[in-house]
Amino acid sequence: MTEPLIRIQDIHKSFAKVEVLSGISMDVAKGEVVCVIGPSGSGKSTLLRCVNALVPIDKGSIVVDGQEVHDPKLDKLALRRKVGMVFQQYNLFPHKTALENVMMAPVHVLKQDKKEVEARARGLIKKVRLEGKESSYPGELSGGQQQRVAIARSLAMQPEVMLFDEVTAALDPETVKEVLLAIRELAEEGMTCMIVTHEMGFAREIAGHVYFTDRGVIVEHGPPKEFFSGAKDPRTRQFLSQIL
């Protein structure tokens, strides 16, 4: 078997003496889609934020595409251009139009040619079905539209992995679909994805592997079919019965 794109080994993380991650390990192969589910406060967001070095870890190792994230000499830019992240609250830049939001990082950070970036950005906006909204400001877009701009903005950096942190949690049910559709298309094209979600139906359909976390550890994991129908751990079962 080839080396996984992301290898997380026994990571620990505490915030002010409270341990949030207590030894999490997982491998994500190139092109694989994994979903992470679990109760609120179980450390799902923290796990994702460790992968792109937004949060430093206390112990353990995360290797992304051969690069040790925990290394103090880490080239953060090199890591972050490989790892895209989409947040629950979209976090678009409110003073820039949709198109500018998508174009900014490649132009400012990667110093790519503006014309090329613009062509790519327009393509991405089309891809997330927002044609015609290029010159709208985030404040003029619905939550679902903003979230799709955020996805396009991440994709503009041409990442190898995408991290999605409860990207539909702030949306109303109708707009959830359009965002999930955008993610599904991405996954079908072979993008490696780590998805934290509460949408169990979506996880069951899209994931190659599902992880259930609780209190900083992975309680149970497996392919979606087995995971959702034959969960063994009582904690997992309780969680699933509450949510399904």
Partner 1 sequence: MDFSPLWDWFRWLNGATGIKLTIFYDSFDRWRFFYGFLTSVRLQATCLALSVVVGVVGAWLQGARSRILRGALQGYIQFFRNTPPLVQLYFFYFALGYVLSVEGDGGLRQTLVSSFAWAVICLSLYAGAFNIEIFRAGIEAVPKETVEAAEALGYSRLGAYVYIVLPLAFRISLPALNNNLVNLVKTTTISYAIAVPEMLYVANQIWSDEVNVPEMMNVLLIAYVSLVGVVVLVMNKWERALRVPGYVS
What does the binding site for partner 1 look like in residue numbers (CB under 8 A)?
52, 54, 76-77, 80-81, 83-85, 87, 89, 91-95, 104-105, 108-110, 136-141, 150, 153-154, 157
CA separation, residue 32 to residues 115, 126, 136, 161, 190 (Å): 32, 25, 34, 10, 7
Phi-psi region of 190 (alpha: psi -120 to 50; beta: other; left: phi over 0): left
132 contact choice in Mg ion, partner 1, ligand ATP, none (CB below 5 to 8 Å, kind-dependent): none
How far is 37 from 219, CA to CA, in rounded Å?
Answer: 10
The span from the first CA to the last CA of the chain, in angstroms, equals: 35
What x/- string results for residues 21 through 60 when contact with ligand ATP is judged by CB under 6 A?
Answer: -----------------x-xxxxxxx--------------
- Residue 213 found at the interface with Mg ion (CB under 5 A): no
Residue with tokens 């509450």: 242
Partner interacting with residue 15 (select from ligand ATP, Mg ion, partner 1, none; CB below 5-8 Å by kind) = ligand ATP
Smaller CB separation from ligand ATP, 166 or 178: 166
Q: Is residue 101 close enough to count as binding ligand ATP by CB under 6 A?
A: no
Q: Count of CB atoms within 10 A of residue 28's CB? A: 21
Task: Give the span between the Cα atoms of 166 and 198, in whole angstroms.
Answer: 7
Token pair listed for 3: 């080396």
Alpha-carbon span 65 to 83, nearest angstrom: 10
Under rule CB under 6 A, residue 20 binds ligand ATP = yes
Residues that contact ligand ATP, how many (by CB under 6 A): 11
Q: Which of 3, 10, 15, 140 binds ligand ATP (CB under 6 A)?
A: 15
Print the binding letters for residues 165-184 with ligand ATP: x by CB under 6 A, - otherwise: -x------------------
Interacting residues with Mg ion between 27 and 86 (CB under 5 A): 45
Contacts of 11 (CB under 8 A, 6+ apart): 21, 23, 24, 25, 47, 50, 57, 59, 60, 61, 62
Q: Name the site residues for Mg ion (rule: CB under 5 A).
A: 45
Residues lying near ligand ATP in the complex (CB under 6 A) are found at: 15, 20, 38, 40-46, 166
